[in-house]
Amino acid sequence: MANVFIASFITGPFQANCYLLAREPGSDCVVVDPGMGAEEFLGEALKTHHLTPVAVALTHGHIDHVGSARQVGDQYGMPVLCPRDDRHLLTDPMAALSDFARPLIEQCYGSTTLREPEEVVDVEPFSHHEYADLDLEFLHAPGHTPGCSMIRMVDAQFGPIVMSGDVVFAGSIGRTDMPEADPAQMSRSLSDVVWPLDDSTHLLPGHGGPTTMAQERISNPFLNRTVSSDFH
């Protein structure tokens, strides 16, 4: 077991987090959730930390998390790992968004129909993928989207680290009032996938700051409400 180096920056109008995962500065890295406009900041982040990107990994298919996946993947000639059940959102982002987003997508991309990255890897639920000397486990936690996943890895010093995407945030969870979202699925994901995570798990969400599983178990009202209801 080795250490994990993590850098991040915020992308786009929805303030989504993009993460760079590596063993150490100066090594290969995985780009997690390059959202809208991420290509504008990625080059500088890679240069600052002397990183070489070898893969893109997506927690789910919403445009604020995949908006630059094709540009980044194709520019660096690397695969884009996408949860299987969200792959259609790479080309049809409006399938999982409310109409309010249509003008923004048309303004940013000139169309609401997009092109897929040249190389897409379909990620199966709970599968492992190794890139940049990192073992990335995709924990399928649908509800926010059908393919919504969290990406788990283990650091020698800090223990489990989970890129929780839009499944769970500090004090909140992902929305379930959008097209293709499913509140019942989200409830099951919270009780069956999120709740069993060890208290030592560090959570790095798709929006907002980091937290821990221990903290969320105590203070996240959505997580506690969902789990409590399973026992009544």
**pLDDT at position 115, please?**
96
69-76 and 39-49 helices, crossing angle to 10° = 50
State which residues of the chain have pLDDT below 70.
Answer: 1, 225-232
Contacts of residue 99, Cβ cutoff 8 Å, sequence gap at least 6: none
Q: What range defines the domain where residue 184 resides?
A: 5-229
Distance separating alpha carbons of residues 173 and 64, to the nearest angstrom:
16
CA atoms within 13 A on the CB side of 121: 19
Which CATH number fits the domain that encloses residue 179? 3.60.15.10
Q: Whole-model pTM? A: 0.96
Tokens 């979202």 belong to 181
* Structural domain count of the chain: 1
Q: What is the pLDDT of residues 23-67, one digit of tens each?
A: 999 999 999 999 999 999 999 999 999 999 999 999 999 999 999
